[in-house]
Amino acid sequence: MVFNYDVVVVGAGHAGCEAAAAAANLGAQTLLITMDMTKMGQMSCNPAMGGIAKGQIVREIDALGGYSGIVTDSSSIQFRMLNRSKGPAMWSPRAQCDRSLFSLKWREMLENTPNLFFWQDSVVNLLIEDSTVKGVHTALGVDFTAKSVVLTTGTFMNGLMHVGRAQLAGGRSGDMASYGITEQLRQLGLEVGRMKTGTPARIDGRTIDYSKVVAQEGDANPEKFSFLDTVKPLERQLPCYITYTNTDVHETLRAKFDESPLFNGTIKSIGPRYCPSIEDKVRTFADKDQHQLFLEPEGWDTNEYYINGFSSSLPLDVQVSALTKIPGLENARIFRPGYAIEYDYFQPTQLYHSLETKLIRNLFFAGQINGTTGYEEAAGQGLIAGINAARSVQKQECFILSRESSYIGVLIDDLVTKGVDEPYRMFTSRAEYRILLRQDNADERLTPIGIEIGLVKKDREELFKYKQDSVEKLVRLINKTSVTQDQINDLLVSKNTPPINQTRKLVDILLRPQIVIKDLLILESIKNFYNTLPCIQKEILQQADIKVKYSGYIDRERIIANKLSRLEDIRISDCFDFNKLQSLSTEARQKLSKIKPKTIGQASRIPGVSPSDINVLLVFLGR
């Protein structure tokens, strides 16, 4: 029996959930296939969303009409805005989540999405004709035809878990691996590699000595991820806890390095540089006497704790022995050991910016299959892949986000242009335009685009327009208002900033780092305006404050971005033969021929392509 759909999404992790929701919300009849419908959006590793640059990605997903922000806000147990001591370009939201509630909320939202259907099964083959995907074939022998297919297989393709010398096939603890797709795609010419990631042991919170660890509370006035006003910030929060390893812990680990699959040759694939296992940290940073650990609760109604910073694939007895030498964990009992997992991925230079594969039409990849690590990176890719899968069905142009528009654009451009040799993780330092790509203005950057492509719903569109209008009115009010000594000096003195001796423009007062707009509510004109706002007052004040204080920096970075973006307007034909340009370096010809950049801008970011090579291309193209 054959079933027909417009789009089939394989895998219901963070990438798959966003891809399925996006395709269905754009009107495509969409099928989401997963091996276990009780684990949609499963947090396979840490129970948290966001963080440095990752929080910006979640806000961007929300601004475009995706679901990750809403799901996170609906299941959070703690919220923190990281990097508050730095400028707003570095502020990054992060939330601890209730792991079970997070997955339940994802399923609830997906099951209430029109045009979206479900099937529990494992996909073992793709149906391909004339280099075009036509559907999928499952382990139960069912064929699902589709005009587009999105693969979001996570760590499941030929997944192999390691705990010491013990090995177990699986995509994560308690779940079987998937087989068949890797072998088929390799035969069709796609380059396949292996990567490794890992996770720590989970411990019983009842066995933690809380007198020996330091509580880490959430923000006093927590914010949230979604720009919608229907989801509210947390009213109560659970604390995390901080403790440290020590030399006894390190010696216990070192004594058994020969039993570590990372060091004895059992694991040959590459792990994430920025989330190393504890044994990797002890070896790499041999001069350090301690490493910080975070004990993170897994939810409101469970005793399970996640030990952030203690990923390990050492034997169970070594993990337990080392853990019990950590302050606060002397009597700790574990629910399950940490483990490493190896899995298949495909070099992302084999993709277009739309995340469609170059060799097989209408086949899209998203998530760890592209060599990335992290829920947020996966979700961002899933959203773009789902949008483009639906647009392909509807015969529309592919949807691409630029580097100057979003962190998602930076992520995808890095992947398809540079490729990966280790699991890719997003940081603010990877973006050239951090001042433009702030977490507070993700809606300003992307919601108009979401409206244009039809993904943003009416309620979000109306709230966005109200917010933008309110921010502009407030900025204009600040720019035209003047204040006297009597009106403002008491505030200035209380904030340890010099008083004024003559009437000054209010904008000059706000430019002082000690003053924020909220302080100006003592002024009648600002207070009256604030009282007219029926909702999202805090968001409006924050964005107006940033626009005023950083207007010079923002304008300067926008000018630079506009200049460089002109290179993105110079198109390169798909059939352009780089090998005929002998003025290019040999490395440039090889790299350009392999990646086939769409624009001069993309060509300029390929490792091994020099500025002189770009000049050669510009001259040849008459520019």
Are the beta carbons of 22 and 386 closer than 8 angstroms?
yes
Backbone angles phi, psi at 284, to 5 degrees: -70, -40
Residue 305: CA atoms inside 13 Å, Cβ hemisphere, count? 26
The torsion defined by the Cα of 222, 223, 229 and 235, in degrees rounded to 10, comes to -10
Strand partners of residue 240: 216
Residues placed in the known binding site: 11-16, 123, 178, 271-285, 368
* Distant-in-sequence, close-in-space partners of 155: CB < 8 Å, separation ≥ 6: 44, 171, 172, 197, 341, 343, 368
Instruction: Return d(Cα 197, Cα 344) in angstroms, integer.
Output: 11
Encoding tokens for residue 104?
């339940």
Q: Name 418's Cβ contacts closer than 8 Å, sequence gap at least 6.
A: 349, 605, 606, 607
Q: Where are the alpha helices (DSSP H) in 215-271?
A: 247-254
* Among 451, 463, 468, 385, CA closest to 14: 385
- Tell me the two tokens of residue 546: 């940033």
C-beta of residue 546 within 8 angstroms of C-beta of residue 475: no
What own/partner pairs with CB < 8 Å and gap ≥ 24 does 130-133 have?
131/359, 131/360, 131/361, 132/360, 132/361, 132/362, 133/360, 133/361, 133/362, 133/363
Instruction: Read off the DSSP letter of residue 270.
Output: B
Is 195 in contact with 38 (CB distance < 8 Å)? no
For residue 93, give the 3-state DSSP assignment. strand
- Please give the backbone phi and psi of residue 25, each rounded to the nearest 5 degrees, phi first: -70, -20
User: Using an 8 Å Cβ cutoff, are 46 and 97 in contact?
Assistant: no
> Which secondary structure element, helix H or strand E, spans residue 231, and what is its range?
none
Binding residues for NAD(+): 271-285
Task: Compute the radius of gyration of the chain from its Cα atoms.
Answer: 26
Long-range contacts of 527-532 (CB under 8 A, 24+ apart): 529/473, 529/474, 529/477
**Is-contact 190 359, C-beta < 8 A?**
yes
Among the listed residues 243, 327, 335, 339, the one whose alpha carbon sits nearest the alpha carbon of residue 298 = 335
Burial 188-220 (b: 16+ CB within 10 A, else e): eebeeebbbbbbbbbbebebbeeeebeeeebee
Annotated binding site for FAD, which residues?
A: 11-16, 123, 178, 368
Percent helix / strand / coil, the chain, rounded to 5: 40, 20, 40
Q: Which of 118, 112, 96, 139 is nearest to 38 (CA)?
A: 118
367 close to 382: Cβ distance less than 8 angstroms: yes
> Using CA atoms, how far apart are residues 170 and 241, in angstroms rounded to an integer?
31
CA-CA-CA-CA torsion sign (285, 289, 292, 298):
positive
Rounded distance between C-alpha atoms, residue 39 and residue 30, angstroms: 19
